[in-house]
Structure 1
Amino acid sequence: MQFPLLVFVTVVEKKNFSRAAESLNMTQPAVSQQIHSLEDYYGVKLFERNSKRVETTRAGEVLYRYAVQIVNLQREAQQAVNDLMGLVTGKLMIGASLTIGEYVLPRLLSVYARHYPDVEISVTIGNTEVIADHALNNRIDVGLVEGPVNPANLVITPFLEDEMVLIVPTTHRLAAIGRVHIEDLLEETFIIRESGSGTRFIVEEVFRTLGIQPKREIQFGSTQAIKEAVEAGLGVSFISIWSVQKEIKLGTLRVLRVHNHSFPRPFSMIWKKKQLETRAMKEFTAMTESIDLHSRLVPEF
C-alpha cells in the first residue's frame, strides 16, 4: 500500500494529476489507477476533480496527514537499513538561496557526486525565507542560505565566508577607483534584490552601516539580473563577491570597496531540529564543513 500512498501524497502536493505523473516518472492513467485503487480500498472519494486542478475531499485531507507520515517512515526505514549496511544511497533534498544556488552549490555538488554517485540529488532554489520554510516543513533535508533565519526550530551552521562588494559598470565615473568614500554613493541608483532575500537583508544592513538612504532603488529577483542591469548602466549594487568571478575575469564589471568599511557575511547550512539525519545528509554536511573543501571553493581574483 506504500506506493499508492506515495502517488496520493504527490497528487495532493502537486494539485494536478499530470504534474504528479511527471514527478513520479509515470503516465497519467497509471496515476489515476493508483488513486482509484486507494478510493476502492478506503471506500471514499479522495479528490474533487476539475479541468485545471484537483482538491482533496474531507476524507482526502484526513488520509493525507497519515499518508505523509507513512511515506516518510518507509523512507526512513529504507535509509536506516542502507546506513546499517554502510551504503550512502537514497535521496538528498537540498535547498539553496539564490546566490549560493547559482554560484557555490554547483561546485559543492560536483565534489559530492563524485564521492557518492548512488545518491539521488534534488535541488530547490529560492530566497532565504522560502528555503527556511522548506526546512521547517520537511520539504528539504538541508538548506544553504545567505541571510539570517529564525533559530527557534532550526540548526544553523556557518560553512563559508562571503563578502559584499560594490559593483559598477566599466564606464562608471568610479570604475578606476579601488576604494570609494560614502559621499561618492549618495546620488547613485542602487539595484537591489526583492524582500525576503538574504542579500536584500544584508544590503539594507550595509546602507544602515554607511548611514545612507538611496534616492532611488530598482528591484530585481535574481543576482544575474542585477549584474546585467549594472553592466547596462542602470545603477550600482552591493553584491556577493562569489557571484562576480566571471565578470571580474572578463572585465565587464568593476568591483570596489568602501573606504574604512568591509561587509563580510557567513553562508550557513540549516536543517530542522531533531530531524532524522540520513547517511547521505551526514556526508553532505560533513563535506560542506570541511576545511579542505573550503580551500577548493575560494574564489580566484
Structure 2
Amino acid sequence: MLEDMRIFATVVEHTSLNKAAERLNLSQPALSRRISRLEAELGVELFRRIGKRLELTAAGQLTYEFALELRRFHGSYLQKLNAFKSNEAVAVTIGASLTTLQTTLPWLITAMTAKHPELEIKAITGKSHEIASLVKERKIDFGLVGSTVEDDPSITSVPLFADHLMLVLPRAHYILERTHWEMADLNELPMILFTPGTWYRTLTDDLFRRNGVKPDIRMEIDSFEAIVRLLAASRAGTLLPKSYIRPQLLEDNDLYVVNVRGLERTKRTISLIHGDLAWFAPSVRYLIEETTAMFTRVSREPKTPS
C-alpha cells in the first residue's frame, strides 16, 4: 500500500501518466496497471481521463491527501530512525528533581544507554520548580519531577508512575515480629530524614503535621544512600520513596520495611515534563516518546522502576 500510494501521488503531481512513468522509471502500461489495481483494491475511481490529462475525482482527492500524510509520516519515521544509524552521537539533557535524581534517573539512564549505546546523556539537578523553569528556557530537553505542572500551558506533564513513602528500619534494633505500625507509633521514633526543601521532605512534614506526629529527627541528609548507610549505626528509621527501595538494598544494609497504616495516602505522581516537541530534533522527540512508553510498560508490572 505504501508503494502504491507513493506512485499514485507521483501521478497526481505530474498530471499525466507519461511524465509520471518517466519519473518513476516505469513503462506507461505498467504504471496504468498499477493505478487500475489500486482503484480496484479501493473500490473507487481515482481519476477522470480527459484526453491526455488526468483529473482527480472526489475520492481521488481524498486519497491524495491521505497519500501526502502517509508520505510525511513515513519521512518522519525514517528521519528518527536515521538519527540512531548515524555515526554521530545523539545527545540529550535531562533535568531531575533531587528525589528523582536518586530514585528514578539511574534506572532510566541504564535502560536508555543499554538500548542506545551511542547516546550521550547530561543530567542537571534542582528542585521541581527549577526543573520546570529549565524546560521553559529550553536549557534541558525534558525533566523528571515528583509532581505535575498544570498551571503552565507551555509545559506538558506526562504522568509516569505513582510513588509513596515507606517506613524502613534496621533489623538489629527493632522487633521484626511487629510488622504493622500505626502513624502514632512514629512519635519520638529516632529518624534520619531528607534535607528540607524537596517535594519528598515537604510530603513527609505534611504527613507528620496531619497526624500530630513528632519523631526524634537525628539527622537531615540530602542523599538517600547516606541515609540508608547510617540507619543501623544511628539506630534510627527513615521514610523512603517506594521507587528507591530494592530487595538488594535492604539485604546489603540489614534493613526491612514495615507497613504503616496511612503511608499509602502519601501517593505522589512522578512525571516527565517537556516543552513544545517542535523545538527538538527528531532523535530527541523519539527519546521522549520512548521514555514515556518505557515507564508505561514498567508501570503495568508489579514493581515501579527502581
| Range class of TM-score, shorter chain | 0.5 to 0.7
Partners of 2:101 and 2:125 within 8 A in 1? yes
Residue equivalent to 1:144:
144
Take 1:97 and 1:283, find their aligned partners in 2: how far apart are those partners? 22
Q: Secondary structure at the match of 1:171?
A: helix
- 1:248 equivalent to 2:270? Answer no
Q: Secondary structure at the match of 2:259?
A: strand
Residue equivalent to 1:109:
109
Paired-residue identity, %: 21
Give runs of aligned pairs for residues 82-101 of structure 1, distance below 5 A: 84=79, 86-88=81-83, 90-101=90-101
- 1:278 equivalent to 2:281? Answer yes
Take 2:118 and 2:77, find their aligned partners in 1: how far apart are those partners? 12
Partners of 1:159 and 1:289 within 8 A in 2? yes
Residue equivalent to 1:193:
194
Give runs of aligned pairs for residues 167-246 of structure 1, distance below 5 A: 167-216=168-217, 218-245=219-246, 246=248
Displacement of 1:86 in angstroms is 4.3
Q: Quick one: which of 280, 287, 292 aligns to 1:289?
A: 292
Partners of 1:83 and 1:279 within 8 A in 2? no
Partners of 2:104 and 2:305 within 8 A in 1? no
Q: Structure 1 residues 260 and 214, CA, compared in 2 at 3 Å: closer, same or farther?
A: closer
Take 1:242 and 1:85, find their aligned partners in 2: how far apart are those partners? 31
Displacement of 1:185 in angstroms is 1.1
Partners of 1:158 and 1:268 within 8 A in 2? yes
Root-mean-square deviation (CA, aligned residues, Å) is 3.3
Q: Structure 1 residues 213 and 135, CA, compared in 2 at 3 Å: closer, same or farther?
A: farther
Which stretch of structure 1 is more off in the superposition, 105-114 or 220-229? 105-114
Amino acid at match of 2:257: V
Please, what TM-score do these two structures have when normalized by structure 1? 0.62
Residue equivalent to 2:50:
none
Residue equivalent to 2:167:
166
Take 2:290 and 2:251, find their aligned partners in 1: how far apart are those partners? 28
Displacement of 1:250 in angstroms is 3.4
Residue equivalent to 1:132:
132
Any idea what the Cα deviations from partners look like across 1:148-183, whole Å, max 9, x if unmatched? 657425322210222210111112335442211222
Any idea what the Cα deviations from partners look like across 1:255-293, whole Å, max 9, x if unmatched? 112125413222111123576133233222222322324
Any idea what the Cα deviations from partners look like across 1:89-112, whole Å, max 9, x if unmatched? 532111122343334323323332
Amino acid at match of 1:253: L
Displacement of 1:227 in angstroms is 1.4
Amino acid at match of 1:91: A
Take 2:80 and 2:303, find their aligned partners in 1: how far apart are those partners? 35
Any gaps of 5 or more consecutive residues in structure 2?
A: 1-75, 85-89
Looking at CA atoms only, which structure, 1 or 2, has the larger radius of gyration?
Answer: 2
Partners of 1:148 and 1:198 within 8 A in 2? no
Take 2:236 and 2:222, find their aligned partners in 1: how far apart are those partners? 16
Q: Structure 1 residues 274 and 150, CA, compared in 2 at 3 Å: closer, same or farther?
A: same
Partners of 1:92 and 1:141 within 8 A in 2? yes
Take 1:85 and 1:122, find their aligned partners in 2: how far apart are those partners? 20
Take 1:118 and 1:130, find their aligned partners in 2: how far apart are those partners? 29
Any idea what the Cα deviations from partners look like across 1:6-52, whole Å, max 9, x if unmatched? xxxxxxxxxxxxxxxxxxxxxxxxxxxxxxxxxxxxxxxxxxxxxxx
Residue equivalent to 2:65:
none
Q: Quick one: which of 258, 261, 265 aligns to 2:260?
A: 258
Partners of 1:169 and 1:230 within 8 A in 2? yes
Q: Structure 1 residues 218 and 133, CA, compared in 2 at 3 Å: closer, same or farther?
A: farther
Any gaps of 5 or more consecutive residues in structure 1?
A: 1-80
Residue equivalent to 1:46:
none
Take 2:305 and 2:276, find their aligned partners in 1: how far apart are those partners? 35
Take 2:132 and 2:110, find their aligned partners in 1: how far apart are those partners? 24
Q: Structure 1 residues 154 and 299, CA, compared in 2 at 3 Å: closer, same or farther?
A: closer
Partners of 1:146 and 1:266 within 8 A in 2? yes
Please, what TM-score do these two structures have when normalized by structure 2? 0.61
Amino acid at match of 1:271: H
Residue equivalent to 2:270:
267
